[in-house]
């Protein structure tokens, strides 16, 4: 059997080297196709990179291994040209002793994928190649999506072969290598502070320290926290996993005289470092830094920074207290929704010293009425038996806390949803909790999220060694937009019917007043965030797109322009690059023009991410152009043109998924630091289609330009212009009002040309 395997490996190696064993061009006979490259996300184990799967070596040490840590892992194969794919032959690592779970998707363009092998398991009985049929699909790109095996979360493949027919493709002389990312869990880097692994611009932290001697626990606010602040006593990066560690000792300082317990805990800050916005308003009224329920009065929603919300985290509890009063031992709060004075939810983890596993439960403390408790895993009792389905210390799990307003007749009922996701993917879901009678749906109430380690034991006799420690691997929150955007004062334009376009300037914004709505400038326009609320930065004569360490987008809406045949809508934008310009950032600067389809919610901030898509962005007719930054081969830098499709990505320009790539071209170009460029995007309505054109110039000299006609397109109304920059493209910082944090626009003009 080993001899047969080596013979087959030799045939595969010959094909990879560009000399296929068979030369049939029809699918009468299948053959091993050339695989030009095998790549992945960069999270593989040590020397077990994806290129090992196509090296013709069946030694188990020559394998790809990547651990699923809260999400799948993807092995991407490039066949070099569109081929007919009949099957995949895969030799799995330890394939004779365990079953691996995976699925396979195929694509002709690398953007739109279809599932060709549904999620299932391997046979678990052989080290040889197993064949998995794909049905003769046309494909150039094939991605295998692994979610671990029956023994653990590792995805490991020794060798893979694509079987089918098509044109002969020569493999590159040198293998394409995937750059390895963070060494810790979930792609986290153990060598950087938490603010470089996590987006902490929307949080401040309180610890048990009292270094200023004022008798209260110390706090560090958003900009300093996101800038890399750590404290090796209470808040730091775990050197093994890269996780964000919260340590809270009962011996530390409290946050106030009314608090009985210590904490190392984050507090959500929707202002995201804009210190001109108060943390809270005296009297308990909502402001831009806090959020409210959708059952609150409209005036409260309009004044708030968000409506309803979801908090998501992946974490492990590493240690809890073991000594002290019976009712306090072993309990720590790991997530909260805090109101003005009370807590709609406190999520507890509790493990008693005599038990192997811990319990999870939550408390609902209403503004009016008695506190209620809900047990999810195990029980909160002081002498509870070991919960057989409990969660052990150091076990990784996730939680989701979400408030959703549910219509009931003419009312909106605030419903609390809580979910625990185990590391094997199983879920424990609480019954939706009705908060209509909890007293939070009033005008002088507000909410904010909290996460970390909030100790619930102040009686341990050995507080320096008997403490709580919690490590977070993922953490984010999201909210719906308020009725008037994010509560900003500028008047939001009402949605109007498209007007027939007439030649002239629609807006010409030079940001003279340094505000988001153009101020007193009659030709100014409004600006909204499309991703993180920190994406916008304003100053005299500039608008900043803050994107140094985080992919972010901004956009403006205007009276929809209905173009007639022969008319052109053209946006011209002038911007300056920062000190840092990234490398190998393909399609990283994106500009789009869209029809808003009369959606009123687009006239406001709408944060979107892969975890929090916004349906308002789905299916908007329009086009994107994008520019490459710092390619290793500068001659490959071009302008790509893409059409927005009826997608459900909910991210607008945050991803090229949901777009059809139409064409690319133009002269090569290079972006340099601290230089000013002027770009354009233009759409011209033709008799039978739309011409899309883009250009880039510097000092009046055109560096590159490209145009393409999308025949048969009926896109003719435009009401929104958007920009997006991928992370690590322009700038080294993602904090507002700091140097080198993104690109600065000095002028954006939109005009109709006949």
3-state SS string for 419-450: EEECCCCCEEECCCEECCCCCCCCCCCCEEEE
What is the arithmetic mean of pLDDT over 569-591?
Answer: 94
- Structure tokens, 557: 């809406």
Q: What is the 3-state secondary structure (H, E, C) of 366-382?
A: CCCCCCEEEEEECCCCC
Residue 647: predicted pLDDT: 66
Terminal-to-terminal C-alpha distance of the chain:
74
Across the range 136-145, mean pLDDT stands at: 95
- Whether residue 24 has pLDDT greater than 70: no
Q: Where are the alpha helices (DSSP H) in 209-276?
A: 222-226
pLDDT at 491: 37
Residues 288-298 pLDDT 10s: 999 999 999 99
Neighbour count for residue 568 (Cβ, 10 Å): 17
**94 pLDDT higher than 80:** yes
Q: At 496, is the pLDDT very low, low, confident or very high (cuts 50, 70, 90)?
A: low
Closest CA to 110 of 630, 713, 644, 659: 659
- Please report the pLDDT score of residue 534 as a whole number: 73
Residue 682: what pLDDT? 97
Give, as one character, the DSSP assignment of residue 524. Answer: -
- Give which of 462, 532, 118, 525 is closest to 322, Cα–Cα: 462
20 pLDDT higher than 80? no
Q: Is 216 exposed, middle or buried (0-12, 13-18, 19+ CB in 10 A)?
A: middle
Query: Would the pLDDT of 748 be above 70?
Result: yes
Would you state the pLDDT for residue 537?
86
Closest CA to 293 of 222, 366, 362: 366
- Rounded Cα gap, residues 531 and 551, in angstroms: 8
Contact assessment for residue 193 and residue 228, using Cβ atoms and an 8 Å cutoff: yes
Structure tokens given for 415: 């419903």
Please give the Cα distance from 316 to 403 (Å, whole number): 24
Tell me how far apart the alpha carbons of residues 588 and 629 are, in angstroms, rounded to a whole number.
7
pLDDT for the residue 499: 84
Indicate whether 419 pLDDT > 80.
yes
Strands 397-408 and 411-421 come out as: antiparallel
Is residue 18 exposed (0-12), middle (13-18) or buried (19+ Cβ within 10 Å)?
middle
Element (H, E) at 14: helix 2-16
pLDDT at 19: 34
Looking at the DSSP bridge assignments, the partners of residue 90 are 130, 160
What is the structure's pLDDT at 488?
A: 40
pLDDT tens by residue, 457-489? 999 999 889 999 999 999 999 999 887 444 444
Q: What is the pLDDT of residue 606?
A: 81
Sign of CA dihedral 305, 310, 314, 317: positive
User: CB under 8 Å to 409, separation ≥6 — which residues?
Assistant: none
Over range 35-44, report the average pLDDT: 91
Q: Of the spans 16-20, 149-153, 690-694, which averages the highest pLDDT?
A: 690-694
pLDDT at 490 over 50: no
- For the record, the structure tokens of 3 come out as 């001899």
pLDDT band at residue 52 using 50, 70 and 90 as cut-offs: very high
| Per-residue pLDDT tens digits for 319-349 | 999 999 999 999 999 999 999 999 999 999 9
Q: What is the Cα–Cα distance from 750 to 414, expressed in whole angstroms? A: 42
For residue 9, pLDDT over 50 is answered with: no
Output the pLDDT for position 171. Answer: 87
Taking the C-alpha atoms of residue 587 and residue 631, their distance in angstroms, rounded to an integer, is: 10
DSSP string, 40-90: -SS-B-TT--GGGGGSS---TTS-EEEE-SSS-EEEEEEEEEEEEEEEEEE
Range 520-533 average pLDDT: 81
pLDDT, average across residues 158-164: 95
Could you tell me the pLDDT band of residue 584, with boundaries at 50, 70 and 90?
Answer: confident
Under the banding of pLDDT at 50, 70 and 90, the label for residue 612 is low
pLDDT for residue 13:
39
Tell me how far apart the alpha carbons of residues 290 and 387 are, in angstroms, rounded to a whole number. Answer: 37
pLDDT in tens, 697-729: 999 999 999 999 999 999 999 999 999 999 889
Q: State how far the Cα of 26 lies from the Cα of 35, in Å rounded to an integer.
A: 19
Mean pLDDT of the residues in the chain: 89
Quote the tokens at residue 471: 């490590």
Q: Is the pLDDT of residue 16 over 70?
A: no
For the segment 148-173, the average pLDDT, to the nearest whole number, is: 91
Paired tokens of 753: 């040309």
Q: Give yes or no for residue 641 having a pLDDT over 60.
A: yes
Task: Write the secondary structure of 628-697 as one string of H (helix), E (strand) and C (coil).
Answer: EECCCCHHHCCEEEEEECCCCCCCCCCCCCCEEEEEEECCCCCCCCCCEEEEEEEEEEECCEEEEEEEEE
- pLDDT band, very low/low/confident/very high, at 69 (cuts 50, 70, 90): low
CB neighbour list of residue 540: distance below 8 Å, 6 or more residues apart: 511, 512, 513, 514
Q: How confident is the model at residue 55 (pLDDT cuts 50, 70, 90)?
A: very high
* CB burial of residue 404 (10 Å; 0-12, 13-18, 19+): middle
- Going by pLDDT thresholds of 50, 70 and 90, the confidence category of residue 352 is very high
Q: What is the mean pLDDT of residues 431-453?
A: 95
pLDDT at 613 over 90: no
Tell me the two tokens of residue 222.
């958003």
For 559, half-sphere exposure in the C-beta direction (CA atoms, 13 angstrom radius) is 15
pLDDT digits (tens, 9 = 90+) for 250-273: 888 777 655 789 999 999 999 988
> Residue for token digits 């207290």?
321
Instruction: Please say if the pLDDT value at position 646 is more than 50.
Output: yes
| Contact predicate 594/719, CB 8 Å | yes
Q: What is the average pLDDT across 370-385?
A: 95
**pLDDT for 2 beyond 60:** no
Instruction: Give residue 517's pLDDT.
Output: 64
Contacts of 566 (CB under 8 A, 6+ apart): 684, 685, 686, 754
Q: How far apart are CA 141 and CA 174, in angstroms?
A: 19
Residue labelled with tokens 């699909």: 137
């Amino acid at each position: 059997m080993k001899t047969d395997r080596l013979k087959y490996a030799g045939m595969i190696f010959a094909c990879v080297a560009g000399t296929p064993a068979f030369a049939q061009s029809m699918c009468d006979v299948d053959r091993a196709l050339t695989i030009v490259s095998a790549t992945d996300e960069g999270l593989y184990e040590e020397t077990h990179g994806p290129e090992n799967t196509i090296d013709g070596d069946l030694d188990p040490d020559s394998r790809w291994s990547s651990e699923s840590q809260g999400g799948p892992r993807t092995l991407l194969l490039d066949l070099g040209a569109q081929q007919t794919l009949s099957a995949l032959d895969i030799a799995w690592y330890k394939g004779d002793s365990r079953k691996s779970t995976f699925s396979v998707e195929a694509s002709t363009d690398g953007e739109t994928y279809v599932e060709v092998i549904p999620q299932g398991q391997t046979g678990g009985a052989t080290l040889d190649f197993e064949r998995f049929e794909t049905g003769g699909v046309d494909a150039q790109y094939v991605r295998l999506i692994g979610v671990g095996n029956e023994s653990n979360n590792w995805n490991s493949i020794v060798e893979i072969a694509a079987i089918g027919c098509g044109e002969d493709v020569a493999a590159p002389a040198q293998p394409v290598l995937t750059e390895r990312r963070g060494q810790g869990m979930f792609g986290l880097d153990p060598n950087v502070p938490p603010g470089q692994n996590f987006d902490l611009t929307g949080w401040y932290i309180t610890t048990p320290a009292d270094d200023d001697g004022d008798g209260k626990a110390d706090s560090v606010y958003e900009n300093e926290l996101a800038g890399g602040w750590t404290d090796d006593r209470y808040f730091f990066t775990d050197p093994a996993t890269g996780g964000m560690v919260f340590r809270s000792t009962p011996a530390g300082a409290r946050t106030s005289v009314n608090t009985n317990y210590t904490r190392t805990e984050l507090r959500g800050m929707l202002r995201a470092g804009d210190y001109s916005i108060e943390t809270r308003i005296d009297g308990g009224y909502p402001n831009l830094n806090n959020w409210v329920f959708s059952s609150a009065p409209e005036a409260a929603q309009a004044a708030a920074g968000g409506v309803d919300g979801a908090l998501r985290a992946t974490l492990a509890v590493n240690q809890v207290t073991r000594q002290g009063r019976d009712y306090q031992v072993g309990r720590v709060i790991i997530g909260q929704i805090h109101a003005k004075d009370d807590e709609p939810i406190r999520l507890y983890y509790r493990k008693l010293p005599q038990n192997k596993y811990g319990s999870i439960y939550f408390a609902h403390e209403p503004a009016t009425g008695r506190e209620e408790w809900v047990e999810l895993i195990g029980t909160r009792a002081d002498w509870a038996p070991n919960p057989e389905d409990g969660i052990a210390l150091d076990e990784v799990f996730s939680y989701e806390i979400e408030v959703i307003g549910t219509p009931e007749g003419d009312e909106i009922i605030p419903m609390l949803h809580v979910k625990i996701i185990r590391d094997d993917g199983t879920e424990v879901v609480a019954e939706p909790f009705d908060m209509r009678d909890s007293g939070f749906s009033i005008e002088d109430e507000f909410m904010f999220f909290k996460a970390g380690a909030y100790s619930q034991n102040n009686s341990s006799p050995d507080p320096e060694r008997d403490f709580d420690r919690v490590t977070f691997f993922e953490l984010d929150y999201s909210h719906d937009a308020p009725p008037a955007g994010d509560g900003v004062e500028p008047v939001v334009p009402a949605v109007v019917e498209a007007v027939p376009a007439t030649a002239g300037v629609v807006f010409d914004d030079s940001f003279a007043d340094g505000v988001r709505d153009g101020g007193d400038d009659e030709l100014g326009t409004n600006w909204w965030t499309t991703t993180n609320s920190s994406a916008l930065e304003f100053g005299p004569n500039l608008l900043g797109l803050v994107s140094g360490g985080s992919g972010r987008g901004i956009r403006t809406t205007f009276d929809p322009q209905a173009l007639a045949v022969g008319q052109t809508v053209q946006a011209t934008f002038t911007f300056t690059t920062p000190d840092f310009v990234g490398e190998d950032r393909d399609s990283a600067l994106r500009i789009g023009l869209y029809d808003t389809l009369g959606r009123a919610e687009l006239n406001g901030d709408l944060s979107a991410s892969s975890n929090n898509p916004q349906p308002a962005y789905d299916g908007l007719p329009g086009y994107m152009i994008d520019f490459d930054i710092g390619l290793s081969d500068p001659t490959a830098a071009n302008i790509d043109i893409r059409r927005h499709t009826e997608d459900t990505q909910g991210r607008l320009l945050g991803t090229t998924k949901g777009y059809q790539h139409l064409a690319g071209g133009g002269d090569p170009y290079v972006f340099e630091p601290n230089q000013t460029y002027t770009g354009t995007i233009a759409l011209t309505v033709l008799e039978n289609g739309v011409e899309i054109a883009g250009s880039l110039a510097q000092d009046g000299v055109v560096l590159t330009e490209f145009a393409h006609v999308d025949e048969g397109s009926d896109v003719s109304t435009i009401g929104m212009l958007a920009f997006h920059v991928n992370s690590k493209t322009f700038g080294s910082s993602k904090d507002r009002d700091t140097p080198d944090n993104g690109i600065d626009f000095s002028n954006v003009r939109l005009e109709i040309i006949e």
